[in-house]
């Protein structure tokens, strides 16, 4: 079955991209995939359209045009960017490193405690799996762009203070 964009029939489904509830009546994107637990059925993963534009750009692009989502033009820009910069859909926010145990996926050096790190996820078999971290200072090397601030902010799990944001923007520029 093809992917779909349709109003949420209840307010219970959570977005696979950000983990937040999709409000009843809001347009949501449904990515249809073969069900790994059954040979002859599909499963549908629901997303806010904006979260899908960031994390599942190719799939959303298949059904976005003329779907009635209000910010179609803005979402198309996000989709094209993610397709051009193939690793950016893996970005899942930003956190200060709680320890010095993780190695950066880009430079392979440890990410020291309290340094900013970008969590990565890889979509596989209908799930996003944690796939390590990169230094904020390795962003250009790893993602081939520094233009990721909005994407980081979209998936931030704790609100960033103005000071944090200034520090992050500084390191990205």
> Residue numbers of the site for Zn ion (CB under 5 A)?
15, 17-18, 48, 51, 104, 106-107, 135, 138
Nearer to Zn ion, 51 or 75 (CB): 51
CB of 134 to Zn ion, least distance (A): 6
Both tokens of 114, joined, read 């309290």
* 21 or 162: CB nearest Zn ion: 21
Residue 105 to residue 51: CA distance in whole angstroms: 23
* Residue placing its CB nearer to Zn ion in the complex, 81 or 133: 133
The CB-of-40 to Zn ion minimum distance in angstroms stands at 30
How far apart are the C-alpha atoms of 63 and 79, rounded to whole Å? 12
Residues 6+ apart with CB under 8 A from 125: 36
- The helix/strand/coil state of 34 is strand
Smallest gap, in angstroms, from Cβ of residue 39 to Zn ion? 30
What's the closest the beta carbon of residue 34 comes to Zn ion, in angstroms? Answer: 23
- Closest CB to Zn ion among 114 and 162? 114
At 163, list the tokens.
Answer: 């000071």
Least CB distance to Zn ion at residue 123 (A): 14
With b for 16 or more beta-carbon neighbours within 10 A and e for fewer, the 117-144 pattern comes to bbbbbebeeeebeeebbbbbebbeebbe
Instruction: Specify the residue, 37 or 127, whose C-beta has the smaller distance to Zn ion.
Output: 127
| Residue 39 exposed, middle or buried by CB count within 10 Å (0-12, 13-18, 19+) | exposed
């Amino acid at each position: 079955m093809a992917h779909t964009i349709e109003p949420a029939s209840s307010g219970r489904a959570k977005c696979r991209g950000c983990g937040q509830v999709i409000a009843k009546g809001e347009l949501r994107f449904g990515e249809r995939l073969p069900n790994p637990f059954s040979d002859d059925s599909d499963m549908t993963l629901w997303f806010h359209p904006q979260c899908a534009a960031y994390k599942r750009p190719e799939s959303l692009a298949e059904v976005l045009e003329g779907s009635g989502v209000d910010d179609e033009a803005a979402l198309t820009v996000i989709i094209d960017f993610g397709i051009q910069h193939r690793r950016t859909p893996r970005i899942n926010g930003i956190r200060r490193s709680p320890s010095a145990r993780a190695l950066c996926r880009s430079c392979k050096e440890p990410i020291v405690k309290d340094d900013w790190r970008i969590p990565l996820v890889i979509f596989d078999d209908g799930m996003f799996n944690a796939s390590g971290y990169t230094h904020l200072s390795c962003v250009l090397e790893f993602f081939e762009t520094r233009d990721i601030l909005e994407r980081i902010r979209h998936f931030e799990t704790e609100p960033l203070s103005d000071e944090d944001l200034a520090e992050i923007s500084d390191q990205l520029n």
